[in-house]
Structure 1
Amino acid sequence: MTSTQGRKGKSDQDLMEMSWDPITRIVGSLGIYTKIDWSAKKVVEAYSTSSIFRGYSIFMKGKDPRDAHFITSRICGICGDNHATCSVYAQNMAYGVRPPHLGEWIMNLGEAAEFMFDHNIFQENLVGVDYCEKMVRETNPGVLELAERTAASNAAEHGYRTIADIMRSLNPMEGEFYREALQISRMTREMFCLMEGRHVHPSTLYPGGVGTVATVQLFTDYLTRLMRYVEFMKRCVPMHDDLFDFIYEALPGYEEVGRRRTLLACWGCHMDPDHPGFNYREMTDWGRKMFVTPGVIVDGKLVTNDLVDINLGIRILLGSSYYEDWEDQEMFVERDPLGNPVDRRHPWNQHTIPRPSKRDFDDKYSWVMSPRWFDGNEHLALDTGGGPIARLWSTALSGLVDAGYVKATGHSVQIHLPKSATKPEKTFEWKIPQWSNALERNRARTYYQAYSAALALHFVERALAEVRAGHTKTWEPFEVPEDGIGCGFTEAVRGVLSHHMVIRDGKIANYHPYPPTPWNGSVRDNFGTPGPYEDAVQNTPIFEENTRENFKGIDIMRAVRSFDPCLPCGVHMYTGDGNVLEKVHSPHAFNGTT
């Protein structure tokens, strides 16, 4: 929904306020409120709001820790399995249990399938619509005319002669590639269910491993579907390269759309079973052995890839969100297992005290808190770029991954896809881009789909080797301690995901999950620093050709959707100064008398 709310500031003619609430083509509840300088064709101010309250940190208290992954999976109906996986990681640490190798390969295969599924359906069926022929015709007809005359450089690989042909293939419900992507999404869901039983709330995932019965047939069924996906990616990557390269050429300056300072976060994912995992004291080492390398990137440079540093640097600020501070509340964890001091604003020590109020952009205006990463000097508003750009950037810079079909070089990530049914083997290389902006976030999403497919090829080979060697155990028993702490680090589809748990007297005393949306969709913090959505949008220039009266805001929507936003699973109510209506039933109301 787009609405003009009025005009303030610079001039009644040149400055206007516009809101998009809710943002469509995602789970609802995200609102973007902007002030646009029409004469300069630029957004000068932006606010990101969420109208949902996540209460999981409250009602997790007192629960049996073994139920944590089943409950937190329901945080999201899109990436619930990522939450279940992260919760299992946190439990494994708290219980001191390490799953058998085969159990971990199965979890890796399930999560790889989830990345392939979700990125595909979002990129082709949701983001792709922003660049389809119908949308471009409505917002930039001059660009469409140029697209009709522009030959696609990789036509021989993807089959579309011009850029306009690519755009037509992305038209919703009608476009060829749009429909093909829907079919692919079904296969990737089947791949996930083969490994974890049910999508998106796994039925075979537990602390200590999985309940999946591992057979050669199971992995063969997965591999058959995977190779069809590999075939699809050999068209998908060059097609998107052609499309995004054309946008840069057709609209000089478009690199500024959705651009912000490069402040990226990746917590790493896909454990390597060959290296001991889950023990906090060894987290630095096993974190660096993940198949996606964790990292904090500031101004394009790697600051750290140490999960201990990453964990200790997390701070939860409130700023403009509807909560009370917890400065006078109990500290649950004063030192980590290595003896390092833990900050009061760390998730282990967080208390969630909701205080709903009327939305006020000069005060409190959202249910999303402001997670930040403290580097010793600044509280950095890190973003995930929707997930893939941060994962690839971090993995590339660390240069640690060299496994089967993927290799990190220090400046790029090489992805090798073997021969498939109708296409020869192909190697793609994602290179660190010049900017962290809307187009590069989208481009990275396509390359990461190929990266996930390549990793899955490696995982399935290793899993088959375990089965053929007779190592078919997938679960390790454990005991829940009376007191303990755990933290799980992985990547949800949209980026960083951590779960922090404190156990006392055998029950959950404190539990805080932090998915990517609070990082990306955070609001202005205590220092006045805007969150990533806000920061990216309020620097965005307007290239849309429509007049102010017919303005659709496509450049703003492209900036927001490049982060793959998602704000599900919660409700809140604000009653203000309203009256309470009481209805009293007569004791005779149900016997025919009044």
Structure 2
Amino acid sequence: MTQNRETELVDMAWDPITRIVGSLGIYTKIDFKQRIVAQCRSTSSIFRGYSIFMKGKDPRDAHFITSRICGICGDNHATCSCYAQNMAYRVKPPHLGEWIVNLGEAAEYMFDHNIFQENLVGVDYCEKMVAETNPGVLAAADRTESPHAGDHGHRTIGDIMRSLNPFTGAFYREALQVSRLTREMFCLMEGRHVHPSTLYPGGVGTVATIQLMTDYLSRLMRYVEFMKKVVPMHDDLFDFFYQALPGYEQVGNRRILLGCWGSFQDPEHCNFEYADMTDWGRKMYVTPGIVVDGKLVTTDLVKINLGIRILLGSSYYDDWAEQEMFVTHDPLGNPVDRRHPWNQHTNPRPQKRDLEDKYSWVMSPRWYDGRDYLALDTGGGPLARLWSTALAGLVDIGYVRSTGSSVQINLPKTALKGPVELEWKIPRWSNTIERNRARTYFQAYAAACALHFAEKALVEIRAGRTRTWESFEVPDEGIGCGFTEAVRGALSHHMVIRDGKIANYHPYPPTPWNASPRDIFGTPGPYEDAVQGQPIFEENDREHFKGIDIMRTVRSFDPCLPCGVHMYLGGGRKLELLHSPTQSPGGE
């Protein structure tokens, strides 16, 4: 911590941010007199190199390799890569294969959101943390009755906070047990977590039986039971913070600029043909869309694809403006920009960190609307997904329904409780609290969708349509793009094939969208934008300041920085062996 005496700003840094994977650093200037964060820089010391060593590989290996990008959401990468390969190979998986993929991805959403929300984010709101940063808020929490105590069993908000205490809190421990069930569900569908062993282009290798679905459903219903108390409990907790701290809605608040690439294909409509992508994209059970200032700009995956731009600015790379363009036009004849992932080149240039110039290995993805390069964020994943799906009003499968202003979730009767109807309503803000709230609701949404997918899969199995994979051939020349939602947000894979090998490959997970530094136009990335300008509510003075609301904001995006290679060798060094390690210099 250093102080700038001229401006009365205090430099404070958190590097690395704890409770996540990866080297994320947050560097701030804080005005304690005005009690605001005056400036923020988001840095990453991890180099993303998959785009380099994917070149020359067999395209059929792409999902196995890119799964290793991350030890958390590897299956999301594998799934997205298979989508891109399906397009390039022009193969349509059997219906049952796609229902199984959906069931696996739904289990992953449930697993990851559960363990992150309850065992990582929840710690920021637990009794021990609140006591250290806002003792006045804890005192108020102990006096405040929980509006939905009958649904979740915690009489006061303070009781909820105590249940979130790590390792000792009852809810904290219960969530750990539930995460095991969801991981088992994933393994039933895709063989291994987190790097699937049965997922391929053209479908899956999973042997589909009624017993397989029964094993999945038995665990799913226990998760549904769990969510019936989790949603009202978190609503009570998050609503309390608005009540206890007037103005708290400004913590992590930024302009509504949300991007969702859609999730859960409907095999009755999806053929993975680029020419039909607009139509089958809108049939996804999570609707793709871009939301600007609360309005749905588009749900067209073709337009979303063509609008992606990869900008530099404050990142450690040289430009590729003079290098080869791989794709000049998409399969529909639309021009493709040089800064689109199909045409990107990765030219790393390591250098000393300079917070006024180059300071991060993360590039700056933006979405170009024809006028502005928009710094979209994913809202941690669920906020963008629910917001886009709600506004589009295209989903109606009984268990879930989008209304144009909300998403309705219908959870059926379980062992201990009857049917429950939940409704996520579009909020006023894209802020820290609403990102976290949406994560809770999306867990319920994923569970409800999984019920539908399981029913569809059982129809196929009982009808004897048990084929789960379709054969294909790799073309000598081709392009493909895959779009889905990783747990924490928008995920795309773009591939170019030449001479039967990968000529160019660029995966873009939510990390660069959310963690990007300032771009060539000086536009801050979402982490930076959400933290910069937010008020300080922590009761500690500057000497004991923990930055709890800064941490809550960054973690509300579900940050994850391992999507890259942890090492850069430059030109390398030549090592010369002067003598055998088994012999003495004299050769004896």
Indicate the SS of the match to 2:110: helix
Deviation at 1:276, TM superposition (A): 3.2
2:584 alignment partner in structure 1: 591
- Describe the shift of the 1:328–1:590 C-alpha distance in structure 2 as closer, same or farther (beyond 3 A): same
Counterpart-to-counterpart distance in 2, 1:458 and 1:130:
34
Counterpart of 1:487, as a letter, is C
* 1:369-405: CA deviation from partner (whole Å, max 9, x where unpaired): 0000000000000000100000000000000000130
1:334 alignment partner in structure 2: 328
Corresponding residue to 2:466 among 472, 492, 506: 472
Corresponding residue to 1:122 among 116, 120, 131: 116
Deviation at 1:15, TM superposition (A): 1.3
Matches within 5 A, 1:255-404: 255-404=249-398
Counterpart of 1:534, as a letter, is E
* 1:21-78: CA deviation from partner (whole Å, max 9, x where unpaired): 0000000300000000010110010000000011100000000000000000000000
Counterpart-to-counterpart distance in 2, 1:389 and 1:253:
21
Corresponding residue to 2:95 among 93, 97, 101: 101
Counterpart-to-counterpart distance in 2, 1:314 and 1:592:
59
| Contact kept in structure 1, 2:579 and 2:585, CA below 8 Å | no
Counterpart of 1:73, as a letter, is S
Counterpart-to-counterpart distance in 2, 1:32 and 1:283:
38
Deviation at 1:582, TM superposition (A): 8.7
Counterpart of 2:539, as a letter, is E
Counterpart-to-counterpart distance in 2, 1:333 and 1:583:
43
1:185 alignment partner in structure 2: 179
Matches within 5 A, 1:171-210: 171-210=165-204
Counterpart-to-counterpart distance in 2, 1:261 and 1:106:
37
Counterpart-to-counterpart distance in 2, 1:128 and 1:584:
54
1:559 alignment partner in structure 2: 553
Per the normalisation by structure 1, the TM-score is: 0.97
1:462 alignment partner in structure 2: 456
* 1:450-487: CA deviation from partner (whole Å, max 9, x where unpaired): 00000000000010011001110100000000000000
Corresponding residue to 2:139 among 119, 141, 145: 145
Q: Does 1:572 align with 2:567?
A: yes
Matches within 5 A, 1:397-476: 397-476=391-470
| Contact kept in structure 1, 2:104 and 2:189, CA below 8 Å | yes
1:62 alignment partner in structure 2: 56
- Describe the shift of the 1:417–1:589 C-alpha distance in structure 2 as closer, same or farther (beyond 3 A): closer
Indicate the SS of the match to 2:470: coil
- Describe the shift of the 1:474–1:542 C-alpha distance in structure 2 as closer, same or farther (beyond 3 A): same
Deviation at 1:410, TM superposition (A): 0.3
1:498 alignment partner in structure 2: 492
Deviation at 1:258, TM superposition (A): 0.5
Deviation at 1:552, TM superposition (A): 0.4
| Contact kept in structure 2, 1:43 and 1:542, CA below 8 Å | yes
Indicate the SS of the match to 2:567: coil
Counterpart-to-counterpart distance in 2, 1:24 and 1:404:
40
Counterpart-to-counterpart distance in 2, 1:168 and 1:587:
62
| Contact kept in structure 2, 1:96 and 1:279, CA below 8 Å | yes
* 1:403-439: CA deviation from partner (whole Å, max 9, x where unpaired): 1300000000000000001011000000000000000
| Contact kept in structure 1, 2:11 and 2:30, CA below 8 Å | yes
| Contact kept in structure 2, 1:271 and 1:277, CA below 8 Å | no
Counterpart-to-counterpart distance in 2, 1:587 and 1:553:
55
Between 509-518 and 537-546, report the one with greater CA deviation. Answer: 537-546
Indicate the SS of the match to 2:4: coil
| Contact kept in structure 2, 1:170 and 1:178, CA below 8 Å | yes
Between 584-593 and 168-177, report the one with greater CA deviation. Answer: 584-593
Counterpart-to-counterpart distance in 2, 1:405 and 1:132:
32
Between 562-571 and 372-381, report the one with greater CA deviation. Answer: 562-571
Corresponding residue to 2:206 among 180, 205, 212: 212
Corresponding residue to 2:30 among 36, 43, 67: 36
Counterpart-to-counterpart distance in 2, 1:276 and 1:134:
49
Counterpart of 2:370, as a letter, is G
* 1:475-506: CA deviation from partner (whole Å, max 9, x where unpaired): 00000000000000000000000000000000
2:84 alignment partner in structure 1: 90
Q: Does 1:49 align with 2:66?
A: no
1:8 alignment partner in structure 2: 4
Deviation at 1:266, TM superposition (A): 0.1
* 1:178-201: CA deviation from partner (whole Å, max 9, x where unpaired): 000000000000000000000000
| Contact kept in structure 2, 1:358 and 1:574, CA below 8 Å | no
Deviation at 1:585, TM superposition (A): 4.9
Counterpart of 1:440, as a letter, is E
**5+ residue gaps in structure 1?**
none
Counterpart-to-counterpart distance in 1, 2:580 and 2:180:
56
1:162 alignment partner in structure 2: 156
- Describe the shift of the 1:499–1:587 C-alpha distance in structure 2 as closer, same or farther (beyond 3 A): closer
* 1:233-279: CA deviation from partner (whole Å, max 9, x where unpaired): 00000000000000000000000000100000000000001113210
Counterpart-to-counterpart distance in 2, 1:334 and 1:573:
31
| Contact kept in structure 1, 2:93 and 2:203, CA below 8 Å | yes
Count of residue pairs the alignment pairs up: 585
Per the normalisation by structure 2, the TM-score is: 0.98
2:104 alignment partner in structure 1: 110
Indicate the SS of the match to 2:172: helix
Counterpart-to-counterpart distance in 1, 2:274 and 2:580:
62
Deviation at 1:362, TM superposition (A): 1.5
Counterpart-to-counterpart distance in 2, 1:274 and 1:433:
33
Deviation at 1:571, TM superposition (A): 1.6
Deviation at 1:570, TM superposition (A): 2.0
Counterpart-to-counterpart distance in 1, 2:535 and 2:417:
40
Deviation at 1:593, TM superposition (A): 4.9
- Describe the shift of the 1:329–1:588 C-alpha distance in structure 2 as closer, same or farther (beyond 3 A): closer
Counterpart-to-counterpart distance in 2, 1:106 and 1:558:
35
Counterpart-to-counterpart distance in 2, 1:64 and 1:175:
49
Between 564-573 and 236-245, report the one with greater CA deviation. Answer: 564-573
Counterpart-to-counterpart distance in 2, 1:121 and 1:53:
27
Q: Does 1:24 align with 2:18?
A: yes
Counterpart of 2:268, as a letter, is D
